[in-house]
């Protein structure tokens, strides 16, 4: 179910609650959890004042626009992110039969936001994204003992080690930046067929996406 509450576009299905809200100029914060309450930690993000956004609920989807960035949630929870030119920047990767009208409807039963319960109350989280463009170049993510500047196609450990600094902010040649706003040890796979972010023990998905010209 899609709804609007306090400058946020919300989606609820089964046990999952999803929020998309403005968080700074031309930026959106995406959070999702299967807890009964959304965690309140901001982690790496500073608190910002509410921006004026446009939120529209239509048949089959909801849209939130903050400056040059726009996110669409389908009626069944799939997220797509666009820039001000209408160019697709990010699209969640899901292969299931929930939406029979989705061109990527499939019997594979792969979820975009997968929460696997683990002992103690947390989840092992995987967030899957389409590789929108095979020619995309991705930079950033910290300092690793490797010779590659372009990280597209790389498998990256999200953890600090001696001589390794994990700073999970990716800057794309498509014109967006993505901060994986989660302190958990995890993994980022920036593949040419599928991209994914993993947190091995967490209570929520939390990321920040910004775009420009």
Residue 94 sits in a domain of what CATH number?
2.60.40.1760
DSSP annotation of 92 reads B
Q: Give the list of residues 6+ apart from residue 156 with CB closer than 8 angstroms, or none.
A: 141, 144, 166, 187, 188, 189, 190
**pLDDT tens per residue across all 213 residues of the chain:** 999 998 999 999 999 999 999 999 999 999 999 999 999 999 999 998 877 899 999 998 999 999 999 999 999 999 999 999 999 999 999 999 888 888 889 999 999 999 999 999 999 999 999 999 989 999 999 999 999 999 999 999 999 999 999 999 999 999 999 999 999 999 999 999 999 999 999 999 999 999 987
Q: Mark out the alpha helices in the chain (DSSP H runs).
A: none
Whether the full predicted model's pTM is greater than 0.85, yes or no, is: yes
Domain count, the chain: 1
The token pair at 77 is: 């929870």
Range of the domain at 60: 2-211
């Amino acid at each position: 179910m899609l709804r609007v509450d306090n400058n946020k576009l919300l989606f609820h299905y089964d046990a999952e609650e999803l929020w998309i809200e403005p968080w700074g100029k031309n930026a959106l914060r995406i959070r999702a959890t299967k807890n009964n309450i959304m965690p309140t930690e901001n982690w790496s993000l500073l608190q910002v004042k509410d921006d004026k956004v446009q939120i529209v609920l239509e048949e089959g989807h909801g849209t939130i626009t903050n400056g040059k960035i726009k996110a669409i949630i389908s009626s069944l929870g799939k997220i797509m992110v666009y820039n001000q030119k209408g160019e697709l920047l990010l699209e969640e990767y899901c292969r299931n039969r929930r939406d029979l009208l989705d061109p990527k409807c499939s019997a594979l039963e792969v979820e975009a936001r997968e929460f696997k319960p683990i002992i103690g109350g947390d989840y092992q989280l995987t967030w899957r994204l389409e590789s929108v463009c095979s020619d995309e170049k991705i930079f950033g993510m910290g300092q690793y003992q490797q010779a590659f500047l372009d990280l597209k196609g790389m498998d990256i450990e999200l953890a600090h080690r001696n001589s390794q600094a994990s700073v999970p902010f990716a800057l794309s040649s498509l014109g967006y930046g993505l901060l994986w706003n989660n302190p958990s040890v995890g993994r980022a796979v920036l593949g040419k067929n599928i991209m994914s972010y993993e947190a091995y023990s967490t209570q929520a998905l939390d990321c920040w996406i910004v775009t420009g010209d």
